[in-house]
């Protein structure tokens, strides 16, 4: 039998009524002849509650026990989904990560998937089971301890299972009905895309679009897993949602496919740094050791033998970054001033058509200029242009760029 993977996020299984609704969707696919692997998240809000309990008991918690606690939410959902399917006379069984077993690294709360043996679940399919309901977000380490994959890890679980079992497709059910050209809450003209390439989706996910977790898209692109993003709350059809697929499967697309943003950014600049070989390694090595995630980086010469180093980072990591820089000042690094701008945002345009079309950057910068928006930092890749601007102009920038590139119109 062909295999289909279906993943249901927290809002899709938030209560028993929604679990029943999701189970009916699974039943439709079983009736089409699929053996189905269902990946479930914890009920909406449950993981946050469990994390809160851990923090309250032990702020400096043992990561192994943290994983044991926070993974339990998915176990509950998996059992309830299997029971619901059984009540519908569909042979179903729940599986926790260690029962599969989904084997991961030992990095608790941020484990990576190493292997998913298929023998156990395939044996049950051969014996008549039609649905394997697997708890997402979790696995087992080589030491035999429960591990978790980090926030959004159920998406990664689903794609990994689709790759391991050679699934025809991986359907990700969420509270939105697909991938949009930008956030519909900001731009009323945002249009749902029928298809989007892996590369475009990866850029959008990494730039702040919250439809899919970045790691899940990376995995899908590597193993050529077709992803479909669709809503648990809309009528189901074969044409529903957005298909994330190879670029070759998209006949024609706009030069720019979407506008993404990240609201909670900050900018830091080290002024008049002694310019010598290895200075960048010193700065960003210290930031890495402090657990700071750096994004956009710009270096410029300020005077003879001196340089300025500017970078962006999540605003909630500013204090950590400031501490790291001050600790190495005068020891491994010499600079005059550390400037911090906490009220910036990142806005990006993304599209595979940018590879073969000139003038996208010029148009983007002209649009922002016409709106009186000053650009602080610019970075580019083959299919992306990102700018750092004042946060108060973020929504205006998104709307203006969406209009300028006519993203409300199909190619």
Distance CA 79, CA 92 (A): 10
180 in a known ligand binding site: yes
289 among annotated binding-site residues: no
User: Has 74 been labeled as part of a binding site?
Assistant: yes
Give me 71's structure tokens.
């993974």
| Residue 306 burial class via C-beta count within 10 angstroms: exposed 0-12, middle 13-18, buried 19 and up | middle
Degrees (nearest 5) of the Cα angle 234, 260, 201?
65
Q: Tell me whether residue 211 is annotated as binding.
A: yes
Can you tell me which residue has the tokens 């299919």?
383
Phi, psi of 331, deg, nearest 5: -110, -65
97 is annotated as contributing to ligand binding: no
Alpha carbon of residue 8 to chain centroid: 15
Question: What's the angle, vertex CA 208, arms to CA 194 and CA 401, rounded to 5?
Answer: 70
Q: Which residues pair with 4 in a beta bridge?
A: 36, 169
Asked if 406 contacts 255 with a C-beta cutoff of 8 angstroms, the reply is no
User: Is 210 annotated as ligand-binding?
Assistant: yes
User: CA angle, 315 as apex, 329 and 337 as ends, to 5°?
Assistant: 30
Question: Is 115 within any annotated ligand binding site?
Answer: no
319 is in an annotated binding site: no
Q: How many CB atoms lie within 10 A of CB 168?
A: 13
What is the residue-wise DSSP string for 29-47?
Answer: HHHTT-EEEEEEPPPTTHH
Annotated ligand binding at 185? The verdict is: yes
Structure token digits, residue 10: 């927290």
The b/e string for 307-325 (b: 16+ C-beta within 10 A; e otherwise) is bbbbbbbbbebbeebeebb
Known binding residue 32? Answer is no
Binding-site residue positions for substrate: 47, 74
Binding-site residue positions for ATP: 7-10, 174-175, 180, 185, 210-211
Binding-site residue positions: 7-10, 47, 74, 174-175, 180, 185, 210-211
């Amino acid at each position: 039998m062909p295999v289909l993977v279906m993943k249901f996020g927290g809002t899709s299984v938030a209560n028993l009524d929604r679990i029943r609704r999701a189970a009916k969707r699974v039943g439709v696919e079983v009736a089409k002849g699929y053996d189905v692997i269902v990946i479930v998240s914890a009920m909406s809000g449950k993981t946050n509650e469990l994390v809160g309990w851990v923090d309250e008991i032990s702020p400096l918690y043992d990561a192994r026990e943290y994983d044991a606690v926070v993974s339990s939410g998915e176990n509950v959902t998996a059992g309830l989904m299997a029971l619901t399917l059984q009540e519908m006379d569909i042979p179903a069984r729940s599986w926790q990560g260690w029962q599969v077993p989904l084997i991961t690294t030992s990095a608790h709360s941020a484990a990576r998937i190493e292997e998913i043996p298929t023998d156990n679940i395939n044996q049950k399919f051969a014996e008549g089971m039609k649905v394997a309901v697997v708890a997402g977000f979790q696995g087992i380490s080589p030491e035999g301890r429960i591990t978790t994959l980090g926030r959004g890890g159920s998406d990664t679980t689903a794609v990994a299972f689709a790759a391991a079992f050679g699934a025809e497709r991986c359907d990700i059910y969420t509270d939105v009905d697909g991938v949009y050209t930008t956030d519909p809450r900001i731009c009323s003209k945002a249009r749902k895309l029928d298809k989007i390439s892996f590369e475009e989706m990866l850029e959008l996910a990494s730039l702040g679009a919250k439809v899919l977790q970045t790691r899940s898209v990376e995995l899908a692109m590597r193993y050529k897993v077709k992803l479909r993003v669709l809503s648990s709350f809309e009528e189901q059809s074969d044409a529903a949602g957005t298909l994330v697929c190879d670029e070759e499967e998209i006949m024609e697309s706009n030069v720019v496919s979407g506008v993404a943003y990240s609201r909670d950014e900050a900018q830091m600049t080290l002024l008049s740094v002694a310019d010598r070989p290895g200075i960048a390694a010193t700065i960003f090595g210290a930031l890495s050791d402090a657990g700071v995630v750096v994004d956009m980086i710009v270096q410029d010469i300020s005077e003879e033998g001196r340089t300025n180093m500017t970078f962006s980072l999540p605003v909630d990591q500013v204090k950590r970054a400031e501490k790291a820089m001050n600790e190495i000042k005068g020891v491994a690094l010499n600079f005059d001033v550390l400037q911090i701008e906490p009220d910036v945002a990142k806005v990006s345009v993304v599209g595979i058509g940018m590879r073969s079309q000139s003038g996208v950057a010029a148009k983007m910068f002209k649009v922002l200029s016409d709106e009186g928006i000053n650009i602080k930092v610019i970075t580019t890749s083959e299919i992306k242009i990102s700018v750092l601007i004042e946060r108060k102009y973020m929504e205006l920038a998104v709307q203006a760029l969406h209009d300028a590139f006519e993203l409300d119109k199909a190619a």
